[in-house]
Amino acid sequence: MIESSTRDRSAILVTALVILGALCVIQTCGLIWILFSYARTTDQLSDTLGDFLDAQIDAGPEVPLFSSEDPLLQARKVLLFHDVNSRTAKDVSARLMYLNATDPDAPIDLYISTQGGWTDNAFTIIDTMRVISAPVNTWAIGGCYSAGALILAAATGRRYATEDTVLMIHTNLEDSRDAYSFPRLARERYERVYRETTHLPENWYPMTDDQSRYLNPQEALEFHLVDEVVPMWDDSKTLPGSR
């Protein structure tokens, strides 16, 4: 009886160990599959998350774009201090058009401090600057990255950077030359702005090497991304572009 009971317990223990080992193998395989799937779908997840965030932004409560009594508007100054998305592009473009309607000859100052955003929305602002008559001076302050740097470069007036600003140019566009494809059109217009307005190194083109290139103001001046670096504030001087 004792020997039989011992054999039963041993069989149960062996069975339990086999089951436990099988579960570990299954769990490991499942983890590998999850990691493999994640690696394949990172871009899809990023796009999905971006679409979701944009939808939340668009679904938010509608607020008045601006008031004509805004002292910044009266001084012909516009701020872009958030991510470049559909809402900020709408706000900035509306302000630019309003100021152009009030005086189509007087310069407008657009101050940019942004982590970047969507290229389509950046071109909404760029195209608005190009279709209005009033020249738009762009100012890089703090950090001017990605889509923000693109808007900065496309100014129709002068381009400034404060001496503490960090600028960044993305060269991470999808490399596609297929006819009628969006990646091809996106790359062509993105590169066209920089080729027409800057002297970036030729080896940065095509902008498909998945790099983030950070510049200090003097480097931005050297590459003709800006026209002037503004020194630290001096009460005895008037800032360029100020009215």
> What domains does the chain contain, in order, with CATH numbers?
71-172+212-230 (3.90.226.10)
Catalytic, out of 4, 37, 170, 236: 170
Mean pLDDT for 113-122 is 95
Catalytic, out of 146, 212, 224, 242: 146
Active-site residue, 199 included: no
pLDDT bin (cut points 50, 70, 90) of residue 161 is very high
Active-site residue, 170 included: yes
What pLDDT was estimated at residue 42?
Answer: 45
**Higher local confidence (pLDDT), 14 or 185:** 185
What pTM value is reported for the model?
Answer: 0.72
HSE, side-chain direction, 13 A CA sphere, residue 166:
9
SS3 per-residue string spanning 88-146:
HHHHHHHHHHHHHHHCCCCCEEEEEEECCECHHHHHHHHHHHHHCCCCEEEEEEEEEEC
What pLDDT was estimated at residue 95?
Answer: 96
| pLDDT, tens only, 186-232 | 999 999 999 999 999 999 999 989 889 999 999 999 999 999 999 86
Question: Beta strand pairing status for 136-145 and 166-172?
Answer: parallel
